[in-house]
Amino acid sequence: MRELLREEAGAFFDALDGPSPASIRFNPLKPARDGELPFRELFDGQVPWCERGAYLRERPSFTLDPLLHGGAYYVQEASSMFLDHVLRQLLHGPSRVLDLCAAPGGKSTLGIGLLAGESLWVANEVVASRAAVLKENVIKWGSERVVVTRADSSRFAALPGAFDLVIVDAPCSGEGMFRREDGRAVSGWSEGATRACEARQRRIARDAWECVAPGGYLVYSTCTYNPGENERVLEWIARLDGACPVAISHDFAGIAPGDSPLPCYRFYPHRTRGEGFFTGALRKDDGPRFALPSRQERLPRVALPAGVEALVRGSGDHARYLAGETAGIVPRAHAGFIHHLERRVGVLYKGCEVAETGGKMAHALALWAGLPRERVETREVGLETATRFLRKEEVRLDVPRGEWAIVAYRSVALGWVKGVGGRVNNYYPVEWRVRLG
Protein backbone atom coordinates (compact mmCIF):
# COMPACT_ATOMS: atom_id res chain seq x y z
CA MET A 1 0.00 0.00 0.00
CA ARG A 2 2.91 2.37 0.64
CA GLU A 3 4.17 1.70 -2.88
CA LEU A 4 0.68 2.14 -4.34
CA LEU A 5 -0.25 5.34 -2.48
CA ARG A 6 3.19 6.86 -1.81
CA GLU A 7 2.63 10.28 -0.17
CA GLU A 8 -1.00 9.40 0.69
CA ALA A 9 -0.10 6.22 2.57
CA GLY A 10 -0.03 7.89 5.99
CA ALA A 11 -3.54 9.27 5.57
CA PHE A 12 -4.72 5.86 4.36
CA PHE A 13 -3.38 4.01 7.40
CA ASP A 14 -4.83 6.65 9.72
CA ALA A 15 -8.24 6.12 8.10
CA LEU A 16 -8.04 2.38 8.80
CA ASP A 17 -7.91 3.18 12.53
CA GLY A 18 -11.16 5.17 12.32
CA PRO A 19 -14.74 3.86 12.43
CA SER A 20 -16.50 2.48 9.37
CA PRO A 21 -19.28 4.77 8.10
CA ALA A 22 -22.84 3.45 8.41
CA SER A 23 -24.94 3.71 5.26
CA ILE A 24 -28.26 2.41 3.98
CA ARG A 25 -30.08 2.41 0.66
CA PHE A 26 -33.85 2.85 0.39
CA ASN A 27 -36.15 0.63 -1.65
CA PRO A 28 -38.01 2.71 -4.27
CA LEU A 29 -40.64 -0.03 -4.47
CA LYS A 30 -41.56 0.25 -0.76
CA PRO A 31 -41.95 3.76 0.59
CA ALA A 32 -42.80 3.83 4.30
CA ARG A 33 -45.90 5.53 5.66
CA ASP A 34 -46.33 9.18 4.61
CA GLY A 35 -43.02 9.00 2.76
CA GLU A 36 -41.13 9.02 6.09
CA LEU A 37 -37.73 7.41 5.50
CA PRO A 38 -36.24 4.95 8.01
CA PHE A 39 -33.76 6.47 10.50
CA ARG A 40 -34.46 9.98 9.31
CA GLU A 41 -33.31 11.30 12.69
CA LEU A 42 -29.85 9.75 12.10
CA PHE A 43 -29.31 11.05 8.56
CA ASP A 44 -25.84 12.47 7.98
CA GLY A 45 -25.92 13.25 4.28
CA GLN A 46 -26.66 11.55 0.98
CA VAL A 47 -24.24 9.10 -0.62
CA PRO A 48 -23.09 11.30 -3.54
CA TRP A 49 -23.17 8.63 -6.27
CA CYS A 50 -26.44 6.98 -5.22
CA GLU A 51 -29.61 9.05 -5.00
CA ARG A 52 -31.29 6.58 -2.62
CA GLY A 53 -28.24 6.06 -0.41
CA ALA A 54 -27.81 7.83 2.93
CA TYR A 55 -25.13 7.99 5.62
CA LEU A 56 -26.12 7.60 9.26
CA ARG A 57 -24.42 9.32 12.20
CA GLU A 58 -24.28 6.02 14.08
CA ARG A 59 -25.02 2.36 13.43
CA PRO A 60 -28.38 1.39 14.96
CA SER A 61 -29.51 -2.18 15.71
CA PHE A 62 -30.76 -2.96 12.21
CA THR A 63 -31.74 -6.51 13.14
CA LEU A 64 -34.44 -5.23 15.49
CA ASP A 65 -35.99 -2.86 12.92
CA PRO A 66 -39.11 -4.34 11.24
CA LEU A 67 -38.59 -2.13 8.17
CA LEU A 68 -35.38 -4.01 7.37
CA HIS A 69 -37.25 -7.32 7.37
CA GLY A 70 -40.01 -5.83 5.24
CA GLY A 71 -37.47 -4.72 2.63
CA ALA A 72 -37.89 -0.97 3.00
CA TYR A 73 -34.11 -0.50 2.88
CA TYR A 74 -30.84 -2.42 2.58
CA VAL A 75 -27.72 -1.93 4.70
CA GLN A 76 -24.96 -1.44 2.14
CA GLU A 77 -21.42 -0.12 2.21
CA ALA A 78 -21.40 3.30 0.53
CA SER A 79 -18.51 2.82 -1.94
CA SER A 80 -20.18 -0.21 -3.54
CA MET A 81 -23.28 1.92 -4.18
CA PHE A 82 -21.26 3.48 -7.03
CA LEU A 83 -22.87 0.74 -9.11
CA ASP A 84 -26.02 2.90 -9.08
CA HIS A 85 -24.16 5.58 -11.02
CA VAL A 86 -22.59 3.00 -13.36
CA LEU A 87 -25.86 1.27 -14.21
CA ARG A 88 -27.65 4.55 -14.90
CA GLN A 89 -25.10 5.13 -17.68
CA LEU A 90 -25.04 1.61 -19.11
CA LEU A 91 -28.63 0.32 -18.84
CA HIS A 92 -30.90 1.54 -21.63
CA GLY A 93 -34.36 0.07 -22.14
CA PRO A 94 -35.49 -3.49 -21.43
CA SER A 95 -32.48 -5.63 -20.52
CA ARG A 96 -31.42 -9.02 -19.21
CA VAL A 97 -28.85 -8.60 -16.45
CA LEU A 98 -26.73 -11.22 -14.69
CA ASP A 99 -25.17 -10.55 -11.27
CA LEU A 100 -22.78 -13.51 -11.31
CA CYS A 101 -21.41 -13.33 -7.72
CA ALA A 102 -24.46 -11.77 -6.12
CA ALA A 103 -24.60 -12.75 -2.41
CA PRO A 104 -25.62 -11.30 -0.07
CA GLY A 105 -27.66 -9.16 -2.49
CA GLY A 106 -26.54 -5.54 -2.22
CA LYS A 107 -25.82 -5.01 -5.91
CA SER A 108 -28.84 -7.04 -7.04
CA THR A 109 -31.33 -5.16 -4.86
CA LEU A 110 -29.76 -1.91 -6.05
CA GLY A 111 -29.96 -2.87 -9.71
CA ILE A 112 -33.47 -4.32 -9.61
CA GLY A 113 -34.78 -0.88 -8.69
CA LEU A 114 -33.22 0.60 -11.85
CA LEU A 115 -34.65 -1.87 -14.36
CA ALA A 116 -36.81 -0.61 -17.18
CA GLY A 117 -40.10 -2.37 -17.92
CA GLU A 118 -39.89 -5.91 -19.33
CA SER A 119 -36.37 -6.39 -17.94
CA LEU A 120 -35.09 -9.39 -15.99
CA TRP A 121 -32.41 -9.65 -13.30
CA VAL A 122 -30.64 -12.97 -12.66
CA ALA A 123 -28.84 -13.12 -9.29
CA ASN A 124 -26.40 -16.03 -8.94
CA GLU A 125 -24.38 -17.36 -6.02
CA VAL A 126 -22.50 -20.68 -6.10
CA VAL A 127 -22.18 -21.21 -2.31
CA ALA A 128 -25.36 -22.79 -0.91
CA SER A 129 -25.47 -20.91 2.43
CA ARG A 130 -24.83 -17.57 0.73
CA ALA A 131 -27.39 -18.35 -1.98
CA ALA A 132 -30.03 -18.82 0.75
CA VAL A 133 -29.26 -15.34 2.12
CA LEU A 134 -29.38 -13.91 -1.41
CA LYS A 135 -32.79 -15.47 -2.01
CA GLU A 136 -34.13 -14.04 1.26
CA ASN A 137 -32.92 -10.52 0.47
CA VAL A 138 -34.30 -10.64 -3.08
CA ILE A 139 -37.72 -11.77 -1.81
CA LYS A 140 -37.76 -8.96 0.76
CA TRP A 141 -36.99 -6.41 -1.96
CA GLY A 142 -40.32 -7.28 -3.55
CA SER A 143 -39.80 -7.49 -7.34
CA GLU A 144 -41.07 -10.32 -9.53
CA ARG A 145 -38.57 -9.50 -12.32
CA VAL A 146 -35.83 -11.57 -10.73
CA VAL A 147 -34.44 -15.11 -10.79
CA VAL A 148 -32.05 -16.57 -8.20
CA THR A 149 -29.65 -19.30 -9.33
CA ARG A 150 -26.89 -21.31 -7.64
CA ALA A 151 -24.35 -22.36 -10.24
CA ASP A 152 -20.69 -22.17 -11.13
CA SER A 153 -19.81 -19.46 -13.65
CA SER A 154 -18.98 -22.14 -16.25
CA ARG A 155 -22.69 -22.99 -16.50
CA PHE A 156 -23.42 -19.46 -17.71
CA ALA A 157 -20.59 -19.60 -20.25
CA ALA A 158 -22.77 -22.15 -22.06
CA LEU A 159 -25.32 -19.35 -22.71
CA PRO A 160 -23.32 -17.24 -25.19
CA GLY A 161 -24.63 -13.71 -25.68
CA ALA A 162 -27.56 -14.20 -23.29
CA PHE A 163 -27.20 -11.04 -21.16
CA ASP A 164 -27.10 -7.34 -22.00
CA LEU A 165 -25.07 -6.63 -18.87
CA VAL A 166 -23.09 -8.92 -16.58
CA ILE A 167 -21.79 -7.84 -13.17
CA VAL A 168 -18.80 -9.67 -11.70
CA ASP A 169 -18.28 -8.50 -8.13
CA ALA A 170 -15.49 -11.02 -7.84
CA PRO A 171 -14.54 -13.00 -4.73
CA CYS A 172 -11.37 -11.28 -3.57
CA SER A 173 -8.82 -10.92 -0.76
CA GLY A 174 -11.05 -8.32 0.92
CA GLU A 175 -8.41 -5.73 1.75
CA GLY A 176 -11.00 -2.98 1.39
CA MET A 177 -12.83 -4.40 4.42
CA PHE A 178 -9.85 -4.38 6.80
CA ARG A 179 -11.21 -1.68 9.12
CA ARG A 180 -14.50 -3.49 9.77
CA GLU A 181 -14.72 -4.37 13.43
CA ASP A 182 -15.16 -8.16 13.14
CA GLY A 183 -11.59 -8.58 11.85
CA ARG A 184 -12.41 -11.53 9.60
CA ALA A 185 -11.03 -9.81 6.50
CA VAL A 186 -7.68 -9.29 8.22
CA SER A 187 -7.34 -12.77 9.72
CA GLY A 188 -8.25 -14.44 6.42
CA TRP A 189 -5.65 -12.57 4.36
CA SER A 190 -2.41 -14.03 3.05
CA GLU A 191 -0.21 -13.31 0.07
CA GLY A 192 -0.93 -16.80 -1.23
CA ALA A 193 -4.66 -16.13 -1.00
CA THR A 194 -4.32 -13.06 -3.21
CA ARG A 195 -2.64 -15.18 -5.91
CA ALA A 196 -5.42 -17.76 -5.68
CA CYS A 197 -8.00 -14.97 -5.97
CA GLU A 198 -6.34 -13.63 -9.13
CA ALA A 199 -6.58 -17.01 -10.85
CA ARG A 200 -10.19 -17.53 -9.79
CA GLN A 201 -11.19 -14.02 -10.86
CA ARG A 202 -9.82 -14.57 -14.37
CA ARG A 203 -11.71 -17.84 -14.70
CA ILE A 204 -14.97 -16.24 -13.56
CA ALA A 205 -14.44 -13.18 -15.76
CA ARG A 206 -13.75 -15.38 -18.81
CA ASP A 207 -16.99 -17.28 -18.24
CA ALA A 208 -18.87 -14.02 -17.71
CA TRP A 209 -17.53 -12.55 -20.95
CA GLU A 210 -18.92 -15.49 -22.92
CA CYS A 211 -22.50 -14.70 -21.93
CA VAL A 212 -22.35 -10.94 -22.63
CA ALA A 213 -24.39 -10.04 -25.71
CA PRO A 214 -22.88 -8.03 -28.57
CA GLY A 215 -23.25 -4.36 -27.63
CA GLY A 216 -23.57 -5.38 -23.97
CA TYR A 217 -21.36 -4.65 -20.97
CA LEU A 218 -19.33 -6.39 -18.30
CA VAL A 219 -18.89 -4.49 -15.02
CA TYR A 220 -16.02 -5.84 -12.93
CA SER A 221 -15.49 -4.92 -9.28
CA THR A 222 -13.80 -6.02 -6.05
CA CYS A 223 -13.51 -4.79 -2.48
CA THR A 224 -9.72 -5.07 -2.43
CA TYR A 225 -6.69 -2.89 -3.30
CA ASN A 226 -4.36 -5.49 -4.87
CA PRO A 227 -3.68 -4.42 -8.48
CA GLY A 228 -3.32 -8.08 -9.44
CA GLU A 229 -6.98 -8.60 -8.56
CA ASN A 230 -8.11 -5.29 -10.01
CA GLU A 231 -6.38 -3.53 -12.92
CA ARG A 232 -4.51 -6.62 -14.10
CA VAL A 233 -7.73 -8.67 -14.30
CA LEU A 234 -9.56 -5.84 -16.10
CA GLU A 235 -6.66 -5.54 -18.57
CA TRP A 236 -6.74 -9.32 -19.10
CA ILE A 237 -10.46 -9.19 -19.91
CA ALA A 238 -9.82 -6.27 -22.28
CA ARG A 239 -7.60 -8.50 -24.40
CA LEU A 240 -10.48 -10.92 -25.06
CA ASP A 241 -12.28 -10.82 -28.40
CA GLY A 242 -14.46 -7.77 -28.95
CA ALA A 243 -13.63 -5.99 -25.69
CA CYS A 244 -13.73 -2.19 -25.64
CA PRO A 245 -13.00 -0.04 -22.54
CA VAL A 246 -15.85 2.12 -21.25
CA ALA A 247 -15.35 5.33 -19.30
CA ILE A 248 -17.87 6.14 -16.57
CA SER A 249 -18.29 9.91 -16.47
CA HIS A 250 -18.56 11.46 -13.02
CA ASP A 251 -17.61 14.55 -11.05
CA PHE A 252 -17.46 13.05 -7.56
CA ALA A 253 -14.57 14.23 -5.42
CA GLY A 254 -12.13 11.70 -4.00
CA ILE A 255 -12.54 8.82 -6.46
CA ALA A 256 -9.05 7.88 -7.63
CA PRO A 257 -8.15 6.69 -11.14
CA GLY A 258 -6.82 3.15 -11.35
CA ASP A 259 -3.22 2.22 -12.12
CA SER A 260 -3.98 1.36 -15.75
CA PRO A 261 -4.40 2.90 -19.20
CA LEU A 262 -7.99 1.58 -19.02
CA PRO A 263 -10.64 3.76 -17.33
CA CYS A 264 -11.19 2.32 -13.85
CA TYR A 265 -12.03 3.71 -10.44
CA ARG A 266 -10.65 3.23 -6.92
CA PHE A 267 -12.22 4.16 -3.61
CA TYR A 268 -9.98 4.66 -0.56
CA PRO A 269 -11.23 5.34 2.99
CA HIS A 270 -9.04 8.45 3.36
CA ARG A 271 -10.42 9.95 0.11
CA THR A 272 -14.10 8.99 0.12
CA ARG A 273 -16.58 8.22 2.87
CA GLY A 274 -16.68 4.46 2.51
CA GLU A 275 -14.57 1.32 2.38
CA GLY A 276 -12.14 0.14 -0.28
CA PHE A 277 -13.63 -0.58 -3.69
CA PHE A 278 -12.52 -0.97 -7.31
CA THR A 279 -14.55 -1.08 -10.53
CA GLY A 280 -14.29 -0.77 -14.30
CA ALA A 281 -16.44 -1.61 -17.32
CA LEU A 282 -15.97 -3.07 -20.79
CA ARG A 283 -18.27 -3.22 -23.81
CA LYS A 284 -18.47 -6.27 -26.07
CA ASP A 285 -18.51 -5.19 -29.68
CA ASP A 286 -19.00 -8.55 -31.37
CA GLY A 287 -19.74 -12.19 -30.70
CA PRO A 288 -22.71 -14.56 -30.92
CA ARG A 289 -26.19 -13.36 -30.06
CA PHE A 290 -28.33 -15.62 -27.88
CA ALA A 291 -31.52 -17.15 -29.25
CA LEU A 292 -33.89 -19.53 -27.54
CA PRO A 293 -34.13 -22.99 -29.12
CA SER A 294 -36.62 -22.97 -31.98
CA ARG A 295 -38.49 -25.86 -30.40
CA GLN A 296 -39.63 -24.64 -27.03
CA GLU A 297 -41.62 -26.76 -24.63
CA ARG A 298 -45.13 -25.51 -24.23
CA LEU A 299 -45.43 -24.18 -20.70
CA PRO A 300 -48.35 -25.74 -18.78
CA ARG A 301 -51.35 -23.63 -17.83
CA VAL A 302 -51.47 -23.13 -14.07
CA ALA A 303 -54.62 -22.22 -12.17
CA LEU A 304 -54.06 -20.17 -9.03
CA PRO A 305 -56.29 -20.41 -5.97
CA ALA A 306 -59.32 -18.13 -6.50
CA GLY A 307 -58.39 -15.64 -3.80
CA VAL A 308 -54.84 -15.35 -5.09
CA GLU A 309 -55.88 -15.03 -8.73
CA ALA A 310 -57.83 -11.91 -7.83
CA LEU A 311 -54.66 -10.40 -6.30
CA VAL A 312 -52.43 -11.18 -9.28
CA ARG A 313 -54.80 -10.38 -12.14
CA GLY A 314 -54.35 -6.89 -13.56
CA SER A 315 -51.08 -6.22 -11.74
CA GLY A 316 -48.90 -6.93 -14.79
CA ASP A 317 -48.34 -9.30 -17.69
CA HIS A 318 -47.33 -12.46 -15.89
CA ALA A 319 -47.06 -16.16 -16.69
CA ARG A 320 -48.01 -18.64 -13.97
CA TYR A 321 -45.84 -21.56 -12.90
CA LEU A 322 -46.08 -24.51 -10.55
CA ALA A 323 -42.92 -25.76 -8.80
CA GLY A 324 -43.83 -28.77 -6.71
CA GLU A 325 -46.66 -27.60 -4.45
CA THR A 326 -45.89 -23.89 -4.90
CA ALA A 327 -47.50 -21.65 -7.52
CA GLY A 328 -45.96 -18.39 -8.64
CA ILE A 329 -45.68 -15.77 -11.35
CA VAL A 330 -42.87 -14.65 -13.66
CA PRO A 331 -42.77 -11.88 -16.27
CA ARG A 332 -44.44 -13.30 -19.38
CA ALA A 333 -41.85 -11.71 -21.67
CA HIS A 334 -39.13 -13.81 -20.00
CA ALA A 335 -41.03 -17.02 -19.25
CA GLY A 336 -39.35 -18.94 -22.08
CA PHE A 337 -35.87 -17.73 -21.12
CA ILE A 338 -36.44 -18.59 -17.45
CA HIS A 339 -37.56 -22.08 -18.44
CA HIS A 340 -34.42 -22.47 -20.57
CA LEU A 341 -32.33 -21.20 -17.64
CA GLU A 342 -33.87 -23.85 -15.39
CA ARG A 343 -32.85 -26.59 -17.81
CA ARG A 344 -29.31 -25.33 -18.48
CA VAL A 345 -28.28 -23.73 -15.19
CA GLY A 346 -30.87 -24.56 -12.52
CA VAL A 347 -33.09 -22.09 -10.67
CA LEU A 348 -33.39 -21.66 -6.91
CA TYR A 349 -36.17 -19.05 -6.99
CA LYS A 350 -38.05 -17.21 -9.72
CA GLY A 351 -40.49 -14.33 -10.02
CA CYS A 352 -42.77 -14.27 -7.00
CA GLU A 353 -44.17 -17.29 -5.20
CA VAL A 354 -47.84 -16.63 -4.47
CA ALA A 355 -49.45 -19.69 -2.85
CA GLU A 356 -49.28 -23.40 -2.21
CA THR A 357 -51.74 -25.66 -3.96
CA GLY A 358 -53.55 -26.26 -0.67
CA GLY A 359 -54.40 -22.56 -0.45
CA LYS A 360 -51.70 -21.36 1.97
CA MET A 361 -50.46 -17.89 1.07
CA ALA A 362 -46.76 -17.68 0.15
CA HIS A 363 -44.67 -15.36 2.30
CA ALA A 364 -43.19 -13.76 -0.83
CA LEU A 365 -46.65 -12.59 -1.91
CA ALA A 366 -46.99 -10.45 1.22
CA LEU A 367 -43.63 -8.80 0.46
CA TRP A 368 -44.30 -8.35 -3.26
CA ALA A 369 -44.34 -4.66 -4.16
CA GLY A 370 -46.93 -5.34 -6.89
CA LEU A 371 -49.54 -6.70 -4.49
CA PRO A 372 -52.74 -4.59 -4.62
CA ARG A 373 -52.93 -3.93 -0.89
CA GLU A 374 -56.42 -2.43 -1.13
CA ARG A 375 -57.70 -5.94 -1.92
CA VAL A 376 -56.06 -7.54 1.14
CA GLU A 377 -56.93 -7.39 4.82
CA THR A 378 -54.12 -5.52 6.55
CA ARG A 379 -53.41 -5.08 10.26
CA GLU A 380 -51.12 -2.14 11.02
CA VAL A 381 -49.17 -2.85 14.21
CA GLY A 382 -46.74 -1.06 16.49
CA LEU A 383 -43.11 -1.91 17.15
CA GLU A 384 -43.74 -4.37 20.00
CA THR A 385 -46.27 -6.46 18.06
CA ALA A 386 -44.15 -6.30 14.89
CA THR A 387 -41.15 -7.60 16.84
CA ARG A 388 -43.18 -10.44 18.30
CA PHE A 389 -44.42 -11.34 14.84
CA LEU A 390 -40.87 -11.39 13.43
CA ARG A 391 -39.78 -13.69 16.26
CA LYS A 392 -42.63 -15.97 15.18
CA GLU A 393 -44.29 -15.61 18.56
CA GLU A 394 -48.00 -15.37 19.27
CA VAL A 395 -49.59 -12.05 18.34
CA ARG A 396 -53.07 -10.83 19.25
CA LEU A 397 -54.97 -9.47 16.26
CA ASP A 398 -58.63 -9.37 15.28
CA VAL A 399 -58.90 -11.34 12.04
CA PRO A 400 -62.09 -13.23 11.02
CA ARG A 401 -61.88 -17.01 11.12
CA GLY A 402 -60.41 -18.41 7.89
CA GLU A 403 -59.27 -14.99 6.62
CA TRP A 404 -55.71 -14.16 5.67
CA ALA A 405 -54.33 -10.74 6.66
CA ILE A 406 -51.03 -8.93 6.20
CA VAL A 407 -49.17 -7.67 9.26
CA ALA A 408 -47.70 -4.25 8.43
CA TYR A 409 -45.44 -1.84 10.28
CA ARG A 410 -45.49 1.78 9.11
CA SER A 411 -47.39 0.49 6.07
CA VAL A 412 -44.57 -1.91 5.07
CA ALA A 413 -45.78 -5.52 4.87
CA LEU A 414 -44.01 -8.07 7.08
CA GLY A 415 -45.94 -11.29 6.39
CA TRP A 416 -49.19 -13.22 6.84
CA VAL A 417 -51.45 -14.23 9.70
CA LYS A 418 -54.65 -16.26 9.47
CA GLY A 419 -57.69 -16.00 11.72
CA VAL A 420 -58.54 -19.26 13.51
CA GLY A 421 -61.26 -18.11 15.90
CA GLY A 422 -60.35 -15.67 18.64
CA ARG A 423 -56.67 -15.72 17.67
CA VAL A 424 -54.38 -15.83 14.63
CA ASN A 425 -51.73 -18.20 13.36
CA ASN A 426 -48.38 -16.56 12.65
CA TYR A 427 -47.06 -17.62 9.24
CA TYR A 428 -43.70 -15.85 9.36
CA PRO A 429 -41.08 -18.27 7.92
CA VAL A 430 -39.41 -20.17 10.74
CA GLU A 431 -36.01 -19.99 9.02
CA TRP A 432 -36.21 -16.18 8.89
CA ARG A 433 -37.33 -15.54 12.47
CA VAL A 434 -35.48 -12.86 14.43
CA ARG A 435 -33.58 -14.25 17.39
CA LEU A 436 -32.22 -11.04 18.95
CA GLY A 437 -33.90 -8.62 21.37
Sort residue 419 into left (φ over 0), alpha (ψ -120 to 50) or beta: beta
50 is catalytic: no
Annotated catalytic residue, options 101, 211, 223, 264 = 223
Return the active site residues.
223
